[in-house]
Amino acid sequence: MIQRRTLLTATAATLAMPAIARAQAGKSFKIGAAVYGLKAEFMQLWVGAIKAHPAVRSGQAAITVFDGQYDALTQSNQFDSMITQRFDAIIFVPIDAQAGADAVRKAKAANILVVGSNTRVVGNELTSFIGSDDVKAGMMEADAVVKAMGGKGNVVVIEGPIGQSAEIDRGRGNREVLAANPGVKVLEHKTANWSRAEAQSLMENWLTAHPGQIGGVIGQNDEMALGALQAIKAAGMDPKKIPLAGIDGVSDAILAVKAGEMVSILQDANGQAQGALDIALRRLAGEGYKPMSEVWNEYASQMPWGGGTATEYSVPWTPVTAGNADALLAKRQKG
Amino acid sequence: MSGLDLPAKPDRFRPGAAIGQALSRYGIVIAFFALCAALSLLNPYFLTPLNIINVLRQASINGILAIGQTFVILTGGIDLSVGSLLAVCGILGASLVTGANPGNPLVAVALGVGAGLGLGMVNGALVARLRVPPFVATLGMLSVARGLTFIANDGMPVPRLSPGFLTLGQGFIAGVPIPVVLFGATALLAWAVLRFTTYGRYVYATGGNERSARTSGVGTRKIIFSVYAISGALAGLSGMVLAARTTSALPQAGLSYELDAIAAVVIGGTSLAGGVGSVVGTLFGALIIAVINNGLDLMGVSSYYQQVIKGAIIVLAVLLDTSRRGRD
């Protein structure tokens, strides 16, 4: 009997705890994270990061993740059900900028605020957007390759799926740098649809078509750069002699950077996901809300919080180097 | 249509009708060599040893899938799940050969092939025992297996595979890439089984006319069950080869690979109605797809045109074949 009573008191106490915390913050906010798809590592990291946000851990925010399955219609339907279920806010990573804008309008009409993260929608209906500038990343990777080539020679460009916003923007960044370096000629450019296997075959074929002529490889993401790396190795060439760059900082790419085989530029999923949640919570909880994620300290100078009401936050890109590779991987293991 | 028929017509009037027969039988082989001859004229690198190795290696993963698919299609069925099975087997098998203490690569391959066999047997049981139409059963498996792939490793790739395992995708035996050796060995075995064994004859009989096969004592349900198991096991094998080739098992691997596998079988002259076709045809079907991709890459053809050309060649190959068969 005594035992049971202590158990009951203990249970009551633990139950009361989050209730108090909730009372202090007002309530537990119901937040939907509508992401374009969960089939690649980057979005997995993004989802892992948002679930690890201090506010989610403490129960101040309840996150429901919706997998958009790379389909604009699926995402639109998910918005309908979030509106029906009266979510407090939606964090939105759209598959398509045009179709996404329509979904945002629907939510706004239902008085649900929408914070964009990672990929953009057209128009200005978003409460705020946090992401990284793909044009900049395209410039950074092209710059790294061009520099390593000494400003002359031939490059090949492995592109993302034609027409996708990341492909368009990264491509624009690539071209801007290449235009400024007339000594570097683009030998070939073609899509490998973000796929490692596809890029590997493509690079094998290019190496055959242009023996000894390819001096550098610009991959618009890491997966494709890794495919090209395998092709270079399989052809018996030394990858250290052919500058190769990718974007995103996926785990395999970080390992390849560590081995000195490529350059990668890390897109910070953690910053984009946790930052978005802080921005949404600030709007919901009011002026007194203090951002909880570490990212605001990490990027204090490049991405200031500024009260949390800016309409746009740009998460900086971090070049992966042999020096920070281990730290980046360790951080990932923890998440 | 009539233009395409022209070259074959004179054969009918020749004394050696056998030549005409051979032409219709080996049309796909002739088409393959004609395509290669054209590409070697258009591009100086096409016929180099390095490129031939590339083409064979690029054909091998789809080729192994397509051989399994040939068994299924010969019975009049279809297996849409092979791309997903490839991915789930890749993740499962590769998880044994990652990390600080990688296991024996052969055990990993056995696990991958075994997992494919098991899931293929589920397909087989659904189709043969429970009479679910093959299209539906394997469409369901396509989705289930892809889901399992993401569940198995939380949607993350399995990286850092042991060097011993990577040999499977990157090594050579007597100058021939191991994926090509596996493709060749699988093709040879499948060809021999279909051509020389009672089992092989039963596969054709089941696809030709299931009812009359059953009346004449063929255990058609067992045959149907077995072809899905074979297709699953080969999907498992190609999943392991793909993981070793790309150095990581990726959960999004093999997306829509079933379509290329079916295309290889169909280009190779196997009838979707069942009962007619061969592994040799499939072998050349897979090679034709790889040669088209390779040739268009070599010539720097834009990917927009590449898709159009590939689709057109697939339909053209089958058109040629059906018109020839129709006349016979």
Q: Where are the domains of chain B?
A: 2-327
Measure A47 CA to nearest chain B CA, in Å: 11
Give the CATH number for residue A79: 3.40.50.2300
Q: Of the candidates B54, B247, B300, which has its C-beta nearest A208's C-beta?
A: B54
Half-sphere exposure of A193 (CA within 13 A, CB side): 10
| Residue numbers in B near A262 (CB within 8 A) | none
Measure A281 CA to nearest chain B CA, in Å: 27
* Count of structural domains within chain A: 2
Q: What is the pLDDT of residue B25?
A: 66
Under an 8 A CB cutoff, do B45 and A211 touch? yes
Domain that holds residue A255: 134-266
Place of tokens 């016979």: B328
Under an 8 A CB cutoff, do B297 and A230 touch? no
**A215/A44 Cα distance (integer angstroms):** 34
Q: What is the DSSP string of B288-300?
A: HHHHHHHHHHHTT
Looking at A266, A301, A326, the residue that finishes a domain is A266
> B229 is written with which tokens?
């198991």
pLDDT over threshold 60, residue B2? no
Segment of A34-38, B68-72, B301-305 carrying the highest mean pLDDT = B68-72
**A170/B150 Cα distance (integer angstroms):** 28
Domain B2-327 class?
mainly alpha
In a domain? residue A335: no
Phi, psi of A157 (to 5 degrees): -120, 125
In a domain? residue A275: yes
In a domain? residue A291: yes
**One domain for residues A138 and A262:** yes
Residue B166 contacts by C-beta under 8 Å, 6 or more apart in sequence? B244, B247
**One domain for residues A146 and A212:** yes
Q: With b meaning 16 or more CB within 10 Å and e meaning fewer, what string describes B68-87?
A: bbbbbbbbbbbbbbbbbbbb
CB–CB of B237/B186 below 8 Å? yes
Measure A100 CA to nearest chain B CA, in Å: 24
Q: What is the DSSP letter of B161?
A: B
> B299 is written with which tokens?
């010539």
CA dihedral A8, A10, A12, A18 (to 10 degrees): -160
**One domain for residues A162 and A221:** yes
In a domain? residue A152: yes
Q: What is the DSSP letter of A225?
A: H
**A23/A232 Cα distance (integer angstroms):** 59
> A212 is written with which tokens?
């000894």
pLDDT over threshold 80, residue A221? yes
| Residue numbers in B near A202 (CB within 8 A) | 297
In a domain? residue A171: yes
**A257/A226 Cα distance (integer angstroms):** 10
Q: Which chain B residue's Cα is nearest to A225?
A: B246
Average of per-residue pLDDT values in chain B = 89
| Residue numbers in B near A234 (CB within 8 A) | 170
**B79/A260 Cα distance (integer angstroms):** 43
For residue A156, the surrounding DSSP H or E stretch is strand A153-159
Under an 8 A CB cutoff, do B248 and A41 touch? no
pLDDT in tens, B132-147: 999 999 999 999 999 9
**B240/B249 Cα distance (integer angstroms):** 8
In a domain? residue A117: yes
In a domain? residue A220: yes
Under an 8 A CB cutoff, do A227 and B294 touch? no
> Complex ipTM, two decimals?
0.76
pLDDT over threshold 80, residue B131? yes
**One domain for residues A256 and A182:** yes
**One domain for residues A102 and A10:** yes
In a domain? residue A329: no
**A116/B60 Cα distance (integer angstroms):** 43
The mean-pLDDT minimum among A65-69, B4-8, B19-23 falls in B4-8
Q: What is the mean pLDDT of residues A270-278?
A: 96
pLDDT in tens, A155-185: 999 999 887 788 999 999 999 999 999 999 9
Which residue out of A41, A51, A200, A207 would a mutagenesis test of the B interface target, given it has the greatest number of B Cβ atoms within 10 Å? A41
| Residue numbers in A near B294 (CB within 8 A) | 201, 205
Place of tokens 């998460």: A315
| Residue numbers in A near B53 (CB within 8 A) | none
